[in-house]
Amino acid sequence: MLLVLGLLAAWRPAAAQLLSPGPLANAHASIDGDNNCGKCHQSGRQVVEALCLSCHKDLAARLAAGAGLHGRNYKGKACEQCHVEHIGRGAKLVRWPGGSPDKLDHDLTGWTLEGDHRQVTCRKCHTKTSSLGKAQYLGEKPACASCHKDVHTGRFGKDCQRCHDLTEWKAFDQKAFDHKLARFALDGKHRDVACAKCHPQDRWTGLDFATCEGCHQDPHRGEFKPKACTACHNTAGWDGAADKLRQDHPWLSLRGGHRRVKCETCHDRGNTKAPSKGGACVDCHRQVHQARFGNRCESCHGGIQWLGLADKIGRDAHDRTSYPLAGRHTQVACAACHKPALPVARRFRGLATDRCGACHADVHQGEFASRGGGECGPCHGVDGFSPTRFGLRDHASTAFPLEGKHEATPCSGCHLAARPRLDLRVPGKRACADCHANPHGQQFAAEMSRGGCAQCHAAADWHRPRIDHATWPLTGAHARAACASCHGAGKQADQPAAYRGVPRDCAGCHDDVHAGQFATTPARACGDCHDTRAFKLPAFDHAALARYPLDGKHAPARCAACHPTAELRNGATAVRYRLGYRECRDCHANPHREPGR
């Protein structure tokens, strides 16, 4: 019997060599061998495209979308037309159209190479490599920014060809250039100026265009500084300044009652001269704030809009106060803080701004009165009450630092809304069982009393417990078995998985395929013939275990020749191993029959 098994073992590799046309290439070496044919082939068929794409998922997506070289040209075609296998480890798996990557007609990919792109080597753009160091050609994008650095840092958008072509980067059509893409849009008379007038010697950056004086001389010789030229003039033309002044007076609106006032009424020394009695509002108007805000009414009020603060002017001026507006505060209506119901003396001056609680209700109901003086700033910012700035590092300073899976748990997972407001303290909750259900019932009551769940589990990964299996060592196939195959759920639906009282003998988990033949005298345990590596016998000592040495022609005989599948005395059907044979005639007919017998 041992000889038969040895011959079968020796025949198996030989048969594999007869079945396999040859070794797979290096890229597929991990699935080489006769047991892996089904990874690429189906019975009675050649290479199956669906099996190839089950591994090459990125290529499957391209084929489905009809994109790229494969999706546009090889959809529905057999993979092996271009990718030939079983011709050796070092064989090339790709048959390129044209014979090599650099001879490929790039039009087939859906992206035609134009201009200087025709001179670029494949690897200049296709820089990715596989785990074997081979070039990869999937996944590249045709956008300019995928290969080229945007020297304009996004200021002109992503369409480079609006200014540049594929032949030379520095050459672009100046007439077609949309100046709105630059930081200085051209309007009015500026549209008619030649490019070289402002960009001498092809100088495109570092130009002074913050003020008109960067290009134009001041004919007023500084008379109206610090006011800008645009206070009187615009790009439509230099003339017409008076009309422009009436529509957009530099600091005082000429709408409403001011519109009816003649220029010389105030500008008694000429329209380009300041009024003789002064240019401040208080020179004409009575002060209602009793000089508490100075004499520059325009800092807060826009022109004649006396009763309504000019929004932009008022908010900018707020930066010069002791309480600059930032974040969500910039969206608050002025009257929300500067309440009209307050006396004039307290409406703008003397408002409490040193603490958030002066305006906002404490939603935590005093929980953090002892932390940071009860101020909101350590956890919240003016950009919004949520999300909080209280992070992992802050949590580490509490009695419960966050580790492992706890780091990814949302705050509301532990800080439940048990009170009208969020309970952030979670008093008394420190042990795992305070938050988590015990899936083991009372099986580990002793361990729980000593150290809780941490005896076996960690916060990083609940499903990979630290178990000492020394009382029942896991060897052979047992080491590869899933925990649930032995520690399955209880018989009842509400019972936990069993970890205590699990059978330790073979029959506790495995069926007796021998139908009780070895339970009789002399009884044999499973370990007498089998080990944990595999159920198939690695070797069988027929002389010692069966008390019947295999000699001569008995040695190469097939096991099934003597041990057939048959019905046993107990009515079960199994391979009969206990035969009760001792003499030749129990198996063999007597060819020497004596006459008369």
Quote the pLDDT of residue 70. 92
Mean pLDDT of the chain, nearest integer: 81
Residue 2 pLDDT > 50, yes or no? no
Other Cβ atoms within 10 Å of 346 Cβ, number: 11
Kind and range of the H or E element at 543? helix 542-545
Q: How confident is the model at residue 241 (pLDDT cuts 50, 70, 90)?
A: low
The secondary structure of residue 204, as a DSSP letter, is: -
Burial grade of 557 (CB within 10 A; 0-12, 13-18, 19 or more)? middle
Q: How far apart are CA 324 and CA 330, in angstroms?
A: 9
Average pLDDT score over residue span 392-403: 87
Residue-wise pLDDT for 417-429, tens only, equals 665 555 566 666 7
Average pLDDT score over residue span 226-249: 74
What percentage of the chain carries pLDDT values higher than 90?
Answer: 11
Residue-wise pLDDT for 483-523, tens only, equals 888 887 766 667 888 888 888 888 888 999 999 988 888 88
Other Cβ atoms within 10 Å of 192 Cβ, number: 8
Quote the pLDDT of residue 240. 61
pTM score of the predicted model: 0.38
Residues 6+ apart with CB under 8 A from 481: 474
- The Cα-based distances of 44 to 15, 68, 81, 84 in angstroms read 18, 32, 19, 19
State the residue for tokens 């969206």.
Answer: 331
Closest CA to 146 of 132, 133, 160: 160
- The Cα-based distances of 378 to 373, 386, 408, 489 in angstroms read 10, 13, 22, 48
What percentage of the chain carries pLDDT values higher than 70?
Answer: 83
Q: How confident is the model at residue 239 (pLDDT cuts 50, 70, 90)?
A: low
Residues 6+ apart with CB under 8 A from 87: 22, 25
Residue 24 pLDDT > 90, yes or no? yes
- The Cα-based distances of 553 to 1, 29, 538, 546, 587 in angstroms read 10, 42, 22, 17, 14
Residue-wise pLDDT for 153-206, tens only, equals 887 778 888 788 787 776 666 777 788 878 888 888 898 888 888 888 877 778
Q: How confident is the model at residue 64 (pLDDT cuts 50, 70, 90)?
A: very high
Q: How many helices, marked H, and strands, marked E, lie in the chain?
A: 17, 4
Average pLDDT score over residue span 40-64: 88
Query: Among 149-153, 298-302, 365-369, whose mean pLDDT is lowest?
Result: 298-302
CA angle 139, 140, 142 (to 5 degrees): 135
Quote the pLDDT of residue 418. 61
Decide if 117 contacts 54 (C-beta within 8 A). no
Alpha carbons within 13 A on the beta-carbon side of 178: 9
Tokens representing 52 are 């190839």
Decide if 496 contacts 490 (C-beta within 8 A). yes
Quote the pLDDT of residue 488. 78
Q: How confident is the model at residue 25 (pLDDT cuts 50, 70, 90)?
A: very high
Quote the pLDDT of residue 3. 34
Please give the full DSSP string across 423-485, using - where no structure is assigned: --S-TT--SGGGTS--TTTTTTHHHHHHTGGGGT-BTTBTTS-----TTS---GGGGGS-HHH
Quote the pLDDT of residue 14. 41
Q: How far apart are CA 182 and CA 104, in angstroms?
A: 40
Q: Which amino acid does the sequence have at 447?
A: E
Long-range contacts of 178-181 (CB under 8 A, 24+ apart): 181/155, 181/156, 181/157
Residue 6 pLDDT > 60, yes or no? no
Quote the pLDDT of residue 26. 92
Decide if 366 contacts 419 (C-beta within 8 A). no
Query: Among 10-14, 131-135, 194-198, 302-306, whose mean pLDDT is lowest?
Result: 10-14
Quote the pLDDT of residue 304. 52
Average pLDDT score over residue span 446-460: 85
Q: How confident is the model at residue 242 (pLDDT cuts 50, 70, 90)?
A: low
E-only strand ranges, 468-596: 565-567, 573-575
- Of the two residues 299 and 218, the one the predictor is more confident about is 218
Quote the pLDDT of residue 495. 80
Quote the pLDDT of residue 490. 63
Q: Left if phi > 0, otherwise alpha if psi is -120 to 50, otherwise beta: which for 108?
A: alpha
State the residue for tokens 């021998």.
Answer: 514
Residue-wise pLDDT for 358-389, tens only, equals 888 888 888 888 776 778 888 899 998 888 88
Quote the pLDDT of residue 564. 92
The secondary structure of residue 148, as a DSSP letter, is: S
Tokens representing 326 are 């930032």
Q: How far apart are CA 546 and CA 543, in angstroms?
A: 6
Domain boundaries, the chain: 2-114, 397-435, 507-591
Q: What are phi and psi of 135, to 5 degrees?
A: -70, 140
Q: What is the CA radius of gyration of the chain?
A: 45
